[in-house]
Amino acid sequence: MLTGYTVEALAYDATMGDWRTHDGVDIAAAVGDQVRAPASGVVTEVIQDVMMGTTVVIDHGGNLTTTCANLAAVPTVEVGDVVTVGDVIGSVGETAIAESALPGHLHFSVAQDGQSVDPMEFLNQ
């Protein structure tokens, strides 16, 4: 992991040159590596975020959503697609200008009831 989850303490951001919170984890990966759905659900957003680049949001039910950002420009899913755990949703890209100082990685975040939660708690399940 390149960057951990921190919403209660500030961490130095090399790209932005300041101290800030980080609502996800940055998982080291080579550009072009496949990104897979972390759990089954429905794709609710496929966007080109100004700061986080190509982003896919999946609703897993129970008010749980995951977000995969810094994907390659064209993901392999569209809004409304139903995905099963392990389905390829895209590949690691270099589209997140807010994290461009980092080597290749996937930015992964989780929200429960609309509130950010530590993705490591979700991944450990």
CATH superfamily assigned to domain 6-123? Glucose Permease (Domain IIA) (2.70.70.10)
- In this structure, what token pair is assigned to residue 72? 């390659």
- In this structure, what token pair is assigned to residue 36? 């897979």
Record the pTM. Answer: 0.89
In this structure, the strands spanning 6-13 and 105-112 are: unpaired
pLDDT score at 122: 81
In this structure, the strands spanning 53-59 and 41-49 are: antiparallel
pLDDT tier for residue 21 given thresholds of 50, 70 and 90: low
| pLDDT per residue as tens digits for the range 40-65 | 999 999 999 998 999 999 999 999 99
Sorted by where each begins, the domain ranges of the chain are: 6-123
